[in-house]
A and B are shown apart, each in its own frame.
Chain A
Amino acid sequence: MADLREELQPRKAKWLAFLEDVSKDGFYNDKIEDMIQKEQNRLIININDVRKEDPELARETMTSPMLEVTAAQLALKELVDTKDSAYSTKEGSFFVGFSGSFGAHHVTPRGLSADLLGRLVCVDGIVSKCSLVHPKVVKSVHYCPQTKLSLERTYRDATSIDGLPTYGLYPREDDQGNPLVTEYGYSVYKNHQRMTIQEMPERAPTGQLPRSIDVILDDDLVDTAKPGDRVQIVGIYRALPNKRGGTTSGVFRTVLLGNTVRQLEKEVQMPSLTDTDIKNILKISKRKRGRDTPFHLLARSLAPSIYGNDEIKMGILCLLLGGTEKNLKRGGHIRGCGEDEGDGGGGGVVFLVLYLLCACVRSVRTLFSSSHRQPFTAAVSRTRTHTHTLTPSYAHTYTLTPSYIHTHTCSHAQQQLDDTLILALRHGSTKFISAGIHTSLNARCSVLAAANPVYGQYDPYSTPTDNIGLPDSLLSRFDLLFIVLDKMDPEVDSKLAGHVLKSHLYRRPGESEGEALRMETAGDTVIVEPPEDEDEEETDVWAAHQPGMARRRGRARILSVDFVKKYIMYARARCQPKLTEDAAEFISDAYSTLRSREHDDKTLPVTARTLETMIRLSTAHAKSRLSQTVDRADAEVAMDLINFAYYNEAKPLAKPRKKRHPDHDDSDSDSDDGVDGGDRMPSTPKPKQKPRATATPTRKAARKANGQSDASPAKSSAFSKARSATAASGAYDPYDFDAPTTAAGEEQPAKKAKQSSSSSSATTTTAAADGDENGTAQAQEEEEEEEAAAGTAISADEMNRFKAAVLAVYKSLKHETVQISELLDALAKQGMTLTEEEARDRLAIMQENNLVYVSDDTVFLV
C-alpha cells in the first residue's frame, strides 16, 4: 500500500500540472469551478487534450489507467480543496472520466480481447439490462461499548481502482472478543450498479450472436443509462479472478469499470464515416447527369433485387431521409417523417420492406395483428435478485429509441386499426400499461405500412379507398400511397424475366460449392460496376422503354447498400434544409392545383395534410442533394411523386358488364362507387351510359356517403359535403338548387380572403408547416368546390335565375332527365328565352358545380 502511494506521487504531480495548466487559458480550471458550482463530483477530461499537452501521460493513461485514474482523482481532490475546501470535505471524493478519441481502444463488446485487459477502453453498445442501485459499504465504523473505543474499517474489492482489494471480514468483535456495534450513521456507502451492454445487433457480423460485457458503475454514474439505450462507456477493462474450490481456474470473468457514460445519439453511432466516404458522398451529391440526380441514383440503389417500382423506391427514400422535425411550444408536434402505404397486389413490396430493415439504422417490422403488438409496448419484468420488485428497467429497446422506422406488413387491412398505430401516427407517441405502470412514451418514428387489399384480391373496379379499407381519418395521415399492381406488358415482362433469370444465375467468383449464395453488393464505397451503358432505368415502370434483354447487363450504376446507408445517415445528420420562397410559392401553387383536381379519382384525399406532405417530401429531396435549402427543383420532384402516388391506379375501371345491362345494376353492385366516370370522360360519353345515369345504380353509394337518397354518378365528394351541410339545417330537397347556391354564395367572401392569403404563399405554407391547423389551413379545407366557377362572363344573378328556372323545369317534369330542346322550350314558357349556346354555357357552369350533367343533348339532374 505504501509503495503504491509513493508510485502515485509523481503521477499526481503530472496531473496537477495538466489540470492547472494556464497555457490552455485555465480550461480545466474553469471546468472544475463549474463542477463545484453544479455540485457535481466528476470531471470529464478529454484525452485529446492530455495527448496534446503530455503525450507520455496520455499513453500511460491508456495503458495503465488503474494508477493514472487514481492519481488524477487525487490531483482533482487537491485542486478542489484549494478552491472550496468546504465542498471538498462535504463530497469526500472526486472522480475523473474521459472522453476523446481512443483509437484502437475504441471497440464494441466483440472487440474486447485479452490485450485490452487493464487498459482504458471505450465500448459502444446497447444496455441490455441493469440491476437496481445498491449501496456498497466503503467504510464501516464500529463502536465497542465495553472499551468505549471505535474502530474504522475500509473495504475495497476487485472493482475498486484505488488500491488493492481488502480481504478483511466485516468485524463483529474486537481483538479481545468484545462485541462491536456498527455505527451505521457514520459508515460511508457508495452507489453501485451493474449493467450489461450488448453489441448492437446491426454491428454484429452476419450469422453470429452479439456479444456482451458487464459494466460496473459506481457513485454518480448509476442510473445514467437505462435498458435499450445506446451508450458509449469509457472504463477500465478488468479481469476478476475466478475462485473455484480453493484453486484458481485460470479463467477470469471480465468487467468494465466505467468512468464515463455517454448516451449515443442516433447519428453518432452510424458506422464511422471515413474521409473517403465523405468525399464520395459529396461527390455523389453533386452528381448531375440529365435526370439522374443523386435522388434518383439513391432511389434506384434501394433494393436493387426488386425490379422497377422506382416511384415507390423514391417514396421510401423520402421516408428514410425524413423531413425536418419541429417541436412546437404549444405542445404540438410536426412529424419529420414520411410515411408510405403500399397496397400490395403484386409481389415485391414485402421484400422492399424487408430490404428496408437492412438499410436503415434502426427499424422494427411488426406483423400487424392482434397477437403481435409487442413492438409498440414496453415490457416490464422481474430481476432475479429482487423478485418482489417490479422494475421498469426492461423497456423495449425499440419503442424507446427515437427516430427509427416502423414497418408493418399487414395481412388483413381491416384488423389493423390498432390504437397504438393510430397513436403513433397522430401524436408520435406510444402508450403502455403494464404491471401498474401507466405511461406514454415518445415514439418518433416513420411508419411504412404494407397491406393486402380488403378481399385479398385488388378490385380494379372500386376505388383505392374501398380496396384498402382504412378510414380516411387514418389514411390521410399517410403521406404517400402506392398501389402495387401486377400489369402486363411484353417488354416489361421480358425485362422481368431477365431480372428473375439473373437472380437465379448470379454466382460470385470463388464461391465454394454447395454454399448458399449471398447476393450482396459489398464494399464501403461506391460500387464499381462499369458504367458501359448509361441507359437509365429511371422513372417510369409502367411505360418502360428499355428494349430486350441484351442491354439488361449494362444497367445504370447503383450504389452499395452500405454506401446508401452512410449517405442517408450523413444527409439526415447534416442537413436541416430551410424552405425557400421560391419553393414555397411552387408548393402553394401546386397545392391549389391539386385541390382543384378535386373531382379526379385519387388514392388519398387532398387536405391540409397534403401540404405538410409536400413540404416533407421536398425537404427529403433537398436532403438527398445535401442542400441546406429546399429549392423549387425539390418541390417539383416532390410534386411528381405526389402526382404519381395520388393519381396512379387511382381511377377505378368502369365495369364493362354493367354498361351493357343497366337493368341489372341494382342486383349485385358490390362496388359501391362502381362507376363515376362522369367528369373524367365527358368528351366521349357513351350512349349506353345514358340509361344508367337515370337508373339507380349509385344510390347505394349516395346513401353510404350522405344518407341522402339521390345522387348521380358524377357527384363529387365536395358537393356532397356542401349538401350535407345544408341537409343538416333542414330537410334536403333534391330538386332544390337554392340551398347549395346560397351556401356557396356565403362562402364567396371567405374564399376571396383565402385566395389572397394563399397568394402570399410563403405565409400560408409556413403557417401550415408550423402545424397551425386551426388557422388558415382549416379555412382552406372548407373552401371546397368553388374554384372551378371562376372566369365566366355570366353574372351570379343571372346564374341564380337560370338555376331557379332549370329547377322549376325539373320540378314540373317530375323527371331527372330532360332533352336540351325540351328544356329550352320549358324555359321559354317561364319567360326566359335563351339560345341553345347560352343555355349550354350556363349548364356547363352548373355542371362544374355538379348540379347537372350534360351529355350530348340530354341534361341530367345531379
Chain B
Amino acid sequence: MDVKRPLEAIDAAFVEIVQAGAPAGSFSLPDELMQQVIDARDQIPSLHDVDRMYLPPNSLVRFRGMIQATHNPEIYLDVYATRGPQGETAVHTSRYRDMTNTKEDWEIDFDSQHNVYKSRHTLHCVPIPAENTWVRQHLAASAPQTARVAGERVRPGATKRATMDEGDDDDDDDGDGGDDDGDGRGRGMEMDAEQQQQQQFPAKKRAGDMTATTIDDDGDSHQQHGQAPGARVADEHVHNLPLPDDRTPALLKVYGDDPGVKLHEMVEVIGVYVNDPTPPSALTDEERAFAEPLPPSSVLPRIHCIHMRTIQHHNPLIPPQLAHLNHVATALPGAAVDARPPLHRALLALVGGDDLTATLLLLHLISRVHTRTADGTMTLGQFPLNLFGVTGPLADLPARLDAFLSTITTSSHLLDMSLRSLNTMSMNPKRSGSTDKLSAGFLQLPRHAHVILNETAMEAGQLNERGIANLMALKTAMDTQQVAFEFEHAGSIMFDIDVQLLVLSEGKSMLPVSTKVPIAPTADVTAPQLTDDETDAIRAYLDLAKHAEFTIAEEMQEAISSDFSTMRQEDPSITADALHRLLGIARLVSLSYGRSSLDLDGWTEAKRIDAAVTQRMHAQ
C-alpha cells in the first residue's frame, strides 16, 4: 500500500468486495490491508514531525495524543450509489474521507437500495500535553528517514528545555538539538524579557547542531511566539489545548463499534489525514445557536483512523505495551540499582544536600494512583508534596527543578501560581451551554504527568471567583485525583486524572498538601551532574517503578496491624489517615529500591521518613 495514497487501495478493496457479490453494507477493511497499514508504521510520517504544509492530503499519518473531549457520533453514508448523466449507476464508499467523491455531473442517488448509513465516532485528540522534549526527540529520531521526507522539510517540535544554563552537560545525548525555549509551553508569557533572553540564549547555542534549514524555521517560530503571545492564546482557544503546544490537535474519526476510550486516555492512531480548506457547512442561524460548528479541517485536521490503540505511557525507553507483567517485574530491580543512586544524587544537589527532601522528591517522582473506589470516595497512591522554604539560595529551585524534571520525566510542567495566572486560567474543562463549545482545562493532563506549582510566584492581591474555583480544582486534584468537567447550567461530572503535584512555596503551602516539609539545605545548591547513560536509566526507571505491581505479604500485614495499634496507644494523634500515609510511603520506598513487596526494612524506612517529616515540621 502506498502510504501517500491509501484511499486507492481501500477503494480497490471495496470494489472487489462489491464485485464478489458481498452485501456492500458489511464492508470492512480486509485484514491483510489492515496488517499492511500496521506494518508500514515506520514509513508513515507522524503528524507532529512534519510540517503540515508538506503533508499531502489523504495520505496516511500517525498521531499520538490524549483524548481531550468527545463529540456526538457522526452519521455518514458509508456506502452510496451515484447516478451519472446518462442514468448509469455506481456504488462507492465514503470510508476514511470527509467528502463523498462523486465525479463531475454525477449525483448521489439518495433513494438507492445500496445506501448504507453508519455512524463514526469523533474524538478530539490533543498532542500529549506537557510532553517533554526528549520524548519527542526520541520518537522523531526513531522514525526512519523515509518518514521524515514525507515533506521536504522536517521540523523538530519547538519545545521546552528551559533555563538549563548547564544544558550542555546533559543533553548531547541525541545529538539532534532539542532546542528550545520555555515559551513553547506558554510559560514565557509570564516571564520578563530578561528571562526570555536568558532562555533563548542556550537554545541558540545548542542550535549549532542542527541543519541550517531547521534553524531558520525554528528560530522564526520562536520570535513569533515571543512577540505575539496574544495570538497564541487565541490559537490555543481554537485548538482546545490544556497547555499551549506548537503541535496541532486533531479530530479523530473512528469507525466500527464505540471505541469506549475514556477522557484523558492516550491513544496512538494510524489514519488518513484530511485537510480540506473548504469552510464547514452553512448552518441556519437557529442551528448555529445550537451548536458551534467545528473549525474547518485546515485549522483542526481530521484523521480517519484505520488503526487505533490506547497506550499506557509514552516513554520511548520502555516497551510500548507493558501488558506482560513480567517485563516490569524483571526490569525494575536492575533499573533501580542503576538509576536510584544517581537520581538521588542529582536531587540532593538540587536541594542543597538535604537528604530528607531529596528522598521525598524521589518518592514523589515514582508515585501514581494505584487504587480508586468506583464511587470516588478514596484514591490511593498519589503523593502530593509541598517543599517550603524556597527562598534565598533556593529561590530558583522551581526553575531548576522544572528543568531537571523535563529531562527525566515524560510529561512535566511548571505552573507559576501568580495571581494573574490563577485569575485568568481555567483548571477545569468547560462546555458552554449555549454553543456546546468545549474548552480545555489545565488539569487535563496525561497519566503520570508531573506538575510543579510554584507558589513563590504568588503576590499580594485578591483572587477573583475564577481564581478561587481554580484553587478548589487543585485541591480536588490533590485529594481525589479528579477533574470536574463543567457543563454550564447542568452541573459537572468528575473525571479521573493521575497527576502528581509538587508545591514549592516560601512558607507552608496554602493548598492542603498531605506531606509538607521545609527544605533544610546543608550545602550549596549545585547543578545535577548526570551522564547520558544515567539520564536514560533514570527515565526508564521512573516509568517502570510507576507501572510496578506491589504486594504486602500476610505476615507483614499482621506486623503492621499490631504495630499500628501500638503506635496509636503511644500517640493518639495517629489516625487511619496516618496509616494510609505510612503505607503509601512504604510502598514507594520499596518500589524505589526495586522491591515489589513490602518487607520490614521498607516499613521501618517509611516510619523513619514519616517521623523525620513530622519532627522537622514540629521544629518549625
Q: Are A303 and B75 in contact (CB under 8 A)?
A: no
B100 on the interface (CB 8 Å rule)? yes
Q: Are A305 and B373 in contact (CB under 8 A)?
A: yes
Q: Are B489 and A394 in contact (CB under 8 A)?
A: yes
Q: Are A207 and B565 in contact (CB under 8 A)?
A: no
Scoring B residues 104 to 123 as 1 if CB is less than 8 Å from chain A, else 0, what string do you get?
00001010000001110000
A486, B291: Cα distance in complex, Å? 52
Query: A722 — which chain B residues lie within 8 A by C-beta?
Result: none
Query: A504 — which chain B residues lie within 8 A by C-beta?
Result: 371, 380, 552, 580, 583-584, 587
A207, B372: Cα distance in complex, Å? 13
Given the known interface contacts A209-B70, A500-B583, the answer about A306 and B371 at a Cβ–Cβ threshold of 8 Å is no
A244, B280: Cα distance in complex, Å? 7
Q: How far is the CB of B415 from chain A (nearest CB, A)?
A: 22
A521, B374: Cα distance in complex, Å? 8
Scoring A residues 413 to 439 as 1 if CB is less than 8 Å from chain B, else 0, what string do you get?
000000000000000000000000000
B191 on the interface (CB 8 Å rule)? no
Counting chain B residues whose Cβ lies within 8 A of the other chain, the interface size class is 35 or more
Chain A, residue nearest B374 (CB): A520
Query: B564 — which chain A residues lie within 8 A by C-beta?
Result: 493-494, 496-497
Q: Are B76 and A252 in contact (CB under 8 A)?
A: yes
Given the known interface contacts A114-B75, A347-B577, A514-B322, the answer about A494 and B572 at a Cβ–Cβ threshold of 8 Å is no
Q: Are A204 and B99 in contact (CB under 8 A)?
A: no
Q: Are A303 and B489 in contact (CB under 8 A)?
A: no
Instruction: Tell me which of B264, B278, B371, B577 contacts A503 (CB under 8 A).
Output: B371
Query: B70 — which chain A residues lie within 8 A by C-beta?
Result: 208-209, 211
Chain A, residue nearest B381 (CB): A516
Q: Are B285 and A385 in contact (CB under 8 A)?
A: yes
Given the known interface contacts A354-B377, A516-B370, A561-B374, the answer about A201 and B491 at a Cβ–Cβ threshold of 8 Å is yes
A383, B488: Cα distance in complex, Å? 13
Q: In chain B between 553 and 579, which residues have their CB closer than 8 angstroms to a CB of chain A?
A: 557-558, 560-562, 564-565, 568-569, 572, 575-577, 579
Q: How far is the CB of B447 from chain A (nearest CB, A)?
A: 8
Query: A395 — which chain B residues lie within 8 A by C-beta?
Result: 489
Query: A861 — which chain B residues lie within 8 A by C-beta?
Result: none
Q: How far is the CB of B289 from chain A (nearest CB, A)?
A: 4
Q: How far is the CB of A65 from chain B (nearest CB, A)?
A: 16
B144 on the interface (CB 8 Å rule)? no
Given the known interface contacts A209-B69, A355-B375, A549-B561, the answer about A244 and B281 at a Cβ–Cβ threshold of 8 Å is yes
Q: Of the 9-residue stretches B15-23, B169-177, B221-229, B543-551, which lies at the interface with chain A?
A: B543-551
A196 on the interface (CB 8 Å rule)? yes
Q: How far is the CB of B65 from chain A (nearest CB, A)?
A: 17
Q: Are B468 and A351 in contact (CB under 8 A)?
A: no
Q: Are B281 and A243 in contact (CB under 8 A)?
A: yes
Q: Are B495 and A397 in contact (CB under 8 A)?
A: no
Q: Are B472 and A367 in contact (CB under 8 A)?
A: yes
* Residues of chain A at interface, number, CB under 8 A: 99
Q: Of the 9-residue stretches A357-365, A582-590, A731-739, A761-769, which lies at the interface with chain B?
A: A357-365
A397, B288: Cα distance in complex, Å? 23
Q: Are A519 and B372 in contact (CB under 8 A)?
A: yes
Chain A, residue nearest B561 (CB): A497
A371, B467: Cα distance in complex, Å? 11
Q: Are B565 and A494 in contact (CB under 8 A)?
A: yes
Q: Are A505 and B98 in contact (CB under 8 A)?
A: no
Instruction: Tell me which of B374, B557, B579 contacts A519 (CB under 8 A).
Output: B374
A272 on the interface (CB 8 Å rule)? no
B364 on the interface (CB 8 Å rule)? no
Q: Of the 9-residue stretches A124-132, A139-147, A320-328, which lies at the interface with chain B?
A: A124-132
Chain A, residue nearest B119 (CB): A114
A167 on the interface (CB 8 Å rule)? no
Q: Are B491 and A497 in contact (CB under 8 A)?
A: no
A667 on the interface (CB 8 Å rule)? no
A499, B577: Cα distance in complex, Å? 12
Given the known interface contacts A207-B496, A493-B564, A496-B576, the answer about A247 and B102 at a Cβ–Cβ threshold of 8 Å is yes
B619 on the interface (CB 8 Å rule)? no
Q: How far is the CB of A412 from chain B (nearest CB, A)?
A: 15
Q: How far is the CB of B82 from chain A (nearest CB, A)?
A: 10
A306, B378: Cα distance in complex, Å? 9
Chain B, residue nearest A348 (CB): B576
A194 on the interface (CB 8 Å rule)? yes
Q: Are B546 and A514 in contact (CB under 8 A)?
A: yes
Query: A496 — which chain B residues lie within 8 A by C-beta?
Result: 564, 576, 579
A51, B575: Cα distance in complex, Å? 64
A498, B265: Cα distance in complex, Å? 33
Q: In chain A between 471 and 519, which residues have their CB closer than 8 angstroms to a CB of chain B?
A: 486, 488, 490, 493-494, 496-501, 503-507, 512-519
Chain A, residue nearest B327 (CB): A513
A561, B375: Cα distance in complex, Å? 9
Q: Are B99 and A249 in contact (CB under 8 A)?
A: yes
B455 on the interface (CB 8 Å rule)? no
A385, B286: Cα distance in complex, Å? 7
Chain B, residue nearest A115 (CB): B117
Q: How far is the CB of A405 from chain B (nearest CB, A)?
A: 13
Q: Are B262 and A206 in contact (CB under 8 A)?
A: yes
Chain A, residue nearest B328 (CB): A513
A139, B368: Cα distance in complex, Å? 65
A212 on the interface (CB 8 Å rule)? yes
A394, B432: Cα distance in complex, Å? 12
A56, B253: Cα distance in complex, Å? 38
Query: A505 — which chain B residues lie within 8 A by C-beta?
Result: 551-552, 557
B230 on the interface (CB 8 Å rule)? no
A64, B322: Cα distance in complex, Å? 50
Q: How far is the CB of A513 from chain B (nearest CB, A)?
A: 5
B26 on the interface (CB 8 Å rule)? no
A115, B374: Cα distance in complex, Å? 33
A719, B250: Cα distance in complex, Å? 75
Q: Are B580 and A500 in contact (CB under 8 A)?
A: yes
A520, B374: Cα distance in complex, Å? 5
Q: How far is the CB of A191 from chain B (nearest CB, A)?
A: 14
Chain B, residue nearest A304 (CB): B373
Q: How far is the CB of A380 from chain B (nearest CB, A)?
A: 9
User: Which 7 A-B pairs rank lowest in CB-CB distance, beginning with the nearest?
Assistant: A207-B262, A520-B374, A514-B547, A358-B375, A351-B377, A250-B100, A497-B564
User: Interface residues, chain B, CB within 8 Å of chain A?
Assistant: 69-70, 72-78, 80, 94, 97-100, 102, 108, 110, 117-119, 260, 262-265, 278, 280-282, 285-291, 312-313, 322-323, 325, 328, 368-378, 380-381, 431, 433-436, 465, 468, 472, 480, 485, 487-491, 493, 495-496, 498, 546-549, 551-552, 557-558, 560-562, 564-565, 568-569, 572, 575-577, 579-580, 583-584, 587
17 interchain pairs (CB within 8 A)? Answer: A113-B73, A113-B119, A201-B490, A209-B69, A243-B281, A244-B99, A248-B102, A347-B576, A351-B377, A357-B375, A357-B376, A384-B435, A497-B579, A500-B583, A507-B549, A512-B323, A519-B371
